[in-house]
Amino acid sequence: MVQIILAILRIIGIILLIVLGIAAVLILLVLFWPVEYQISLRKEDQAFEAEGRAGWLFHLLSADVQIRERTGTITLKIFGRRLKTFRIPEGRRAEAPHSQDPSGMTEAASCSQKPSGTEAASRSQKPSGTETEMPCSQAALETGTQTREDQTGRQISRGETDTAGQKTKTGGQAASDGIGPRKRASRIRSAAISAVSAVRNILSRISGAAAGIAARAIQKAAKGLVTALAFVFRMQELPSDLGDFSDTFHENADTKIESFRRKAEPFVSPDAFSLYGRIMRHLGRLLRSLRFRRLEGYLLIGTGKPDLTGKLIGLLYMILPDTARAYELRADFYQATLKTRTNAAGHIRMNHVLMFLIRLLRDKEFRKLLAHVRRKGKEGSKGRSKGRSVKKKKRK
């Protein structure tokens, strides 16, 4: 019985050791096996193109990135087989305005209109030997010319009709010369009465309009006078108002400066500045381990301003690693341009990132600063939640 129990325990121990060994191997692989990457950038006469590839553990896990101008794809692979593809959404482009003719219609709309009846008749009367197809713009001009000729003919016909009517009225007046004196006197009396009423209406309208204009002028003058008096009285109180405004401004500025000083005090203390120095040293080690192992090609850059271009080129020369011996930086001091053909490769080890995080967490000042940031974040989230609850109550 004891031997059976010992055998079972031995089997369990062996299984646990195997599991722990596999876990330790995986952890060591993740920490020390590098993630290799390759980057290729192209921007010359063609559109911008970028390609990237990263792989880990003989490309057991890999990712491919391809970008063309505005869109691209990210493909995840396992054992060389595609697992999932993510598409980068394309940005919106500005739509080109549609061309319009002077009449406000597009060329397609003017071309799609059917010819009028007169135009179709005139086309049908032409002999087939001389019939040719005209472009859309010429047809539109002929249609407009014909329309203006029709309108001119209508106006002439209306003028002739009016002349004929006037002649008829003259003849009728001549024929009515034989009316009696009583009827003529009554007509003259009615005409005089209508003329007097018309003159009275005109005079009443003129007097009403004049009265309205005078009332508006008096109202505007009174309003301007009140405004001027108010400004004069306000000018007497202007020095005191300026003094109150300056006092209020200084009080608000002092309050805001004091609150900002209290909030920024943990970040500007001597201990904080010494912490920043240590962080920069640790970050320099990390960046040294993440630098490009291979960098080839060239970069032509110009900002349109010679002084700014020179400063930018100098900064890039400072940033370039020692491995960029085959990489060429060019400057264009006359125009704004950007052309490149860059090939880069390198690798990243997770143990360097882990050591950077461990060094930061071991620092006492960094932990205090991190706790302060967390506490302020919680207080801000509580204040925002209280404000939302108060707004909800007010709405209810």
pLDDT in tens, 226-284: 777 676 666 656 666 666 777 787 788 888 888 888 888 888 888 888 998 999 888 88
Q: Which among 115, 105, 103, 112 has a CA at the least distance from the CA of 143?
A: 115
Are residue 289 and residue 339 in the same domain, yes or no?
yes
Average pLDDT, whole number, for the chain?
76
Q: Is 19 helix (H, G, I), strand (E, B) or coil?
A: helix
Residue 374: domain span? 369-396
Residue 236 forms part of a structural domain: yes
Residue 347 forms part of a structural domain: yes
Are residue 199 and residue 261 in the same domain, yes or no?
yes
Are residue 349 and residue 277 in the same domain, yes or no?
yes
Q: Is 170 helix (H, G, I), strand (E, B) or coil?
A: helix
pLDDT in tens, 342-365: 999 999 999 999 999 999 999 998
How much of the chain exceeds pLDDT 70, in percent? 72
Contact 65, 51 (CB under 8 A): yes
pLDDT in tens, 325-338: 889 999 999 999 99
Are residue 286 and residue 296 in the same domain, yes or no?
yes
Quickly count: other Cβ atoms within 10 Å of residue 75's Cβ: 16
Classify burial at 8, counting beta carbons within 10 Å of its beta carbon; exposed 0-12, middle 13-18, buried 19 or more: exposed
Between the alpha carbon of residue 122 and those of residues 53, 132, 154, the distances in Å are 72, 13, 20
Boundary-marking domain end, from 268, 298, 317: 268
Boundary-marking domain end, from 219, 241, 268: 268
Boundary-marking domain end, from 268, 285, 306: 268
Q: What's the gap between Cα 356 and its chain centre?
A: 39
Are residue 238 and residue 275 in the same domain, yes or no?
no
Sign of the torsion angle spanned by Cα atoms 77, 78, 84, 89: negative
Which range among 89-98, 156-165, 236-245 has the greatest average pLDDT?
236-245
Q: Which among 252, 329, 12, 66 has a CA at the least distance from the CA of 75?
A: 66
Are residue 208 and residue 276 in the same domain, yes or no?
no
Contact 300, 338 (CB under 8 A): yes
> Is pTM beyond 0.85 here?
no
Sign of the torsion angle spanned by Cα atoms 59, 62, 64, 65: negative
Classify burial at 348, counting beta carbons within 10 Å of its beta carbon; exposed 0-12, middle 13-18, buried 19 or more: middle
The pLDDT value given to residue 266: 83
Residue 46 forms part of a structural domain: no
Are residue 290 and residue 357 in the same domain, yes or no?
yes
Residue 224 forms part of a structural domain: yes
Domain count along the chain: 3
Residue 38 forms part of a structural domain: no
Phi first, then psi: what are they for 72, rounded to 5°? -175, 180
Residue 202 forms part of a structural domain: yes
Are residue 282 and residue 357 in the same domain, yes or no?
yes
Are residue 281 and residue 263 in the same domain, yes or no?
no
Residue 69 forms part of a structural domain: no
